[in-house]
Amino acid sequence: MQKITRDQLIEKAASLLGNGTVSCVLGWEKGEFDYDVTPALFETESELREKFVFGDFCGANLSKYLVSKTRKCEGRILVFLKPCDTYSFNQLLTEHRFDREKAYVVGIPCEGMADIERVKELCGDGISSVTADGDELVVTTLYDDEPVRVKAESVLAERCVNCKSKKHVAYDELIGEDGEVLSSARFDEVARLEAMTPDERFAFWQNELSKCIRCNACRNVCPACTCERCVFDNPSSGVENKAAANSFEEKMFHIIRAFHVAGRCTDCGECSRVCPQNIPLHLLNRKFIKDIDDFYGEYQAGAEVGSRAPLVNYTFDDLEPGEVFERGGQDA
């Protein structure tokens, strides 16, 4: 259950639209169901009142939309950003993807977002509505007469269970109180994989990656993937938009995707959220983050604007690739 309400956000947006501070608003609108909320651009107060939503399914990180919207929209854009979204915002600024002056950031607190897959595990399919009530979600399905109640805490998205920060690293204005950077257990699962034998790891990834249907949703949603021309759209790259022909292509796609954002990925978790096949893409990104932290010192992409990404940086006495394995930890 979120502490701030839809109405609070609408009031804020309406007043900023009204006094001319901003000319449009990036927010969320309801999709076909309560739980498939999608990002949307609003230009008038009446549009906001009609369609704007805010709740436990507003996981979508709006920062990436600034890249295209700031080019189209005259004037400033109000964007609502949760703490984790502000890291992506900073990262995009670091990479000069849009003009800071064109964005008006309203930081909003976040109590953690729900994962519809977890709701389905508990309530089954055919969900017709999900509404928040205190610290519970009330779920109605097509097959049950009585609505089912689940604790919001029990259906939190993985990335929110392992939230890295409740602190906004960028904003023009805050609604509610700011939180703290958290110490989370987000690398535990990576460590568990590292402790497996190579055969087990190979089987694990073979199984996960073979589910990929190459919809490219993970790339499209990623705020670190904003190249105007992407290798995955290039027919001569051998990894263009099509279903992978075999397991080599699957691995190739996933290694490239994760490598291209290595050192720039803020661990916002959007890629895993949108994957229709529920592939744990965050375990690939976090492997790079964990390695970078271990080898070159802790680095959080987007924590500040202008920091130098680890892959375009070096020291004279960096670890040799051979030493990586000598350091042990992982089973040979």
Partner 1 sequence: MQVKEYKPLIVAFCCNWCSYAGADLAGNNRLSYPADVKIIRVPCSCRVNPMFVLRAFQRGADGVIICGCHPGDCHYTSGNYYTRRRMALLFSMLDYLGIERDRTRLEWVSAAEGAKFAATMNDFVEKVTALGENKRLEDLRCKK
Contact set with ligand SF4 (CB under 6 A): 212-218, 221-224, 261, 265-271, 274-277, 279, 281-282, 285
* CB nearer to ligand SF4: pick between 110 and 150: 110
Q: For residue 101, state whether it binds partner 1 (rule: CB under 8 A).
A: no
Q: How far apart are CA 205 and CA 289, in angstroms?
A: 18
Q: For residue 259, state whether it binds partner 1 (rule: CB under 8 A).
A: yes
Question: Which one of the spans 15-23, 53-61, 107-115, 250-258 is the region binding partner 1 (CB under 8 A)?
Answer: 250-258
Q: For residue 312, state whether it binds partner 1 (rule: CB under 8 A).
A: yes
* CB nearer to ligand SF4: pick between 140 and 272: 272
CB 239 within 8 A of CB 231: yes
291 is in the binding site of which of ligand SF4, partner 1, none (Cβ under 5 to 8 A by kind)? partner 1
182 is in the binding site of which of ligand SF4, partner 1, none (Cβ under 5 to 8 A by kind)? none
Q: What is the x/- site pattern for partner 1, positions 202-231, by CB under 8 A?
A: xxxxx-------------------------
Q: For residue 142, state whether it binds partner 1 (rule: CB under 8 A).
A: no
214 is in the binding site of which of partner 1, ligand SF4, none (Cβ under 5 to 8 A by kind)? ligand SF4
Question: Which one of the spans 58-66, 80-88, 177-185, 255-263 is the region binding partner 1 (CB under 8 A)?
Answer: 255-263
Contact residue for partner 1 among 77, 287, 300, 301 (CB under 8 A): 287
Q: How many residues bind partner 1 (CB under 8 A)?
A: 45
215 is in the binding site of which of partner 1, ligand SF4, none (Cβ under 5 to 8 A by kind)? ligand SF4
Find the Cα–Cα–Cα–Cα dihedral 154, 160, 162, 163, rounded to 10°: -140
Contact residue for partner 1 among 49, 118, 201, 214 (CB under 8 A): 201
CB of 212 to partner 1, least distance (A): 14
Name the one residue in this structure whose structure tokens are 């199984």.
207
Contact residue for partner 1 among 136, 251, 274, 293 (CB under 8 A): 251
Contact residue for partner 1 among 37, 288, 302, 303 (CB under 8 A): 288
Residue 108 region by backbone torsions, left for phi larger than 0, else alpha for psi between -120 and 50, else beta: beta
Q: For residue 200, state whether it binds partner 1 (rule: CB under 8 A).
A: yes
CB 289 within 8 A of CB 267: yes
Q: For residue 292, state whether it binds partner 1 (rule: CB under 8 A).
A: yes
SS3 letters for the chain?
A: CCCCCHHHHHHHHHHHHHCCCCCEEEEEECCCCCCCCEEEEECCHHHHHHHECCCCCCCCCCCCHHHHHHHHCCCCEEEEECHHHHHHHHHHHHCCCCCHHHEEEEECCCCCCECHHHHHHHHCCCEEEEEEECCEEEEEECCCCCCEEEEHHHHECHHHHCCCECCCCCCCEECCCCCCECCCCCCHHHHHHHCCCHHHHHHHHHHHHCCCCCCCHHHHHCCCCCCCCCHHHCHHHCCCCCCCCCHHHHHHHHHHHHHHCCCCCCCCCHHHHHCCCCCCCHHHHHHHHHHHHHHHCCCCCCCCCCCCCHHHCCCCCCCCHHHHHHCCCCCC
33 is in the binding site of which of ligand SF4, partner 1, none (Cβ under 5 to 8 A by kind)? none
Contact residue for partner 1 among 258, 261, 275, 281 (CB under 8 A): 258
Q: For residue 326, state whether it binds partner 1 (rule: CB under 8 A).
A: no
Q: How far apart are CA 318 and CA 295, in angstroms?
A: 8
Residues that bind partner 1 (CB under 8 A): 193-194, 198-206, 245-246, 248-249, 251-252, 255-256, 258-259, 262, 284, 287-288, 291-292, 295-296, 310-316, 318-322, 324-325, 330, 332
